[in-house]
Amino acid sequence: MHVMPLLLLIAGSAAVAGAARRTPVPAPLLLVAAGLIVSYVPGVPDYTLDPHIVLPLLLPPLLYTAATDSSYLDLRAQIRPVALLSVGYVLFATFAVGWAAYMIVPDLSLTAALVLGAVVAPPDAVAATAVARRVGLPSRVTTILQGESLVNDATAITAYKVALAAAVGEGATWAGGIGEFLLAALGGIGVGLVLMVPIHWMRTHLKEALLQNSLSLLTPFFAYAVAEQLHASGVLAVVVVALYLGHRNWEVDFATRLQEEAVWKMVAFILESAVFALIGLQLPVILKGLGEYEGPSAAWYAVVLFLIVVATRFAWVYPATYLPRLLSARIRKREENPTWKGAFVISWAGMRGVVSLAIAFSIPLTADGGEDFPGRNMILFLTFTTVIGTLVVQGLSLPPLIRMLKLPGRDQQAETLAEANAQAQASRAAERRLEELLSDERNTLPPPLADRLRTVLERRRNAVWERLGQVNTVTGETADDTYRRLSREMIGAERAVFVKLRDGRFIDDEMLRTLLRRLDLEEAAAFRETT
The helix/strand/coil state of 203 is: helix
Please provide the DSSP assignment of 119-186 as one string: HH-SPPHHHHHHHHHHHT--HHHHHHHHHHHHHHHHHHHHHHHHHHHHHTTS---HHHHHHHHHHHHH
Average pLDDT estimate for 24-29:
78
Residue 134: the pLDDT is 64
d(CA 280, CA 17): 14
Residue 205 has pLDDT above 80, yes or no: yes
d(CA 396, CA 393): 6
Q: How distant is the alpha carbon of residue 27 from its chain centre?
A: 14
Residue 531 has pLDDT above 70, yes or no: no
Model pLDDT for residues 387-418, shown as the tens digit of each residue: 999 988 988 888 788 888 877 666 666 766 77
Contacts 24+ apart (CB under 8 A), 284-289: 284/39, 284/40, 284/46, 285/46, 285/47, 285/48, 286/377, 286/380, 286/381, 286/384, 287/381, 289/376, 289/377, 289/380
Q: Which of 167-176, 215-224, 300-309, 359-368 has the lowest mean pLDDT?
A: 167-176
Alpha-helical segments (H) within 55-105: 59-68, 72-77, 79-83, 90-104
Residue 529: the pLDDT is 44
Helix%, strand%, coil% for the chain, nearest 5: 80, 0, 20
Do residues 118 and 156 touch, judged by C-beta distance below 8 A? yes
d(CA 283, CA 50): 15
Q: Is 306 left (phi over 0), alpha (psi -120 to 50) or beta?
A: alpha
The verdict on pTM exceeding 0.85 is no
Average pLDDT estimate for 461-478:
68
Model pLDDT for residues 274-323, shown as the tens digit of each residue: 888 888 888 887 877 666 666 788 889 999 999 999 999 999 999 999 99
Model pLDDT for residues 430-454, shown as the tens digit of each residue: 888 888 888 888 888 888 888 888 8
Residue 202: the pLDDT is 94
Percent of the chain scored above 70 by pLDDT?
A: 88
Average pLDDT estimate for 340-364:
87
Taken in order 518, 522, 528, 530, the sign of the CA dihedral is negative
Taken in order 169, 170, 173, 174, the sign of the CA dihedral is negative
d(CA 241, CA 150): 12
* Distinct helix (H) and strand (E) counts, the chain: 25, 0
One-letter amino acid of 336: E
Model pLDDT for residues 164-194, shown as the tens digit of each residue: 888 876 655 666 777 888 888 899 999 999 9
d(CA 215, CA 213): 5
Average pLDDT estimate for 200-217:
90
Please provide the DSSP assignment of 254-308 as one string: HHHHHHHHHHHHHHHHHHHHHHHHHHHHTHHHHHHT-GGGTTHHHHHHHHHHHHH
d(CA 111, CA 160): 10
Nearest to 305 by CA among 297, 223, 163: 297
Residue 57 has pLDDT above 60, yes or no: yes
Model pLDDT for residues 323-335, shown as the tens digit of each residue: 988 888 888 888 7
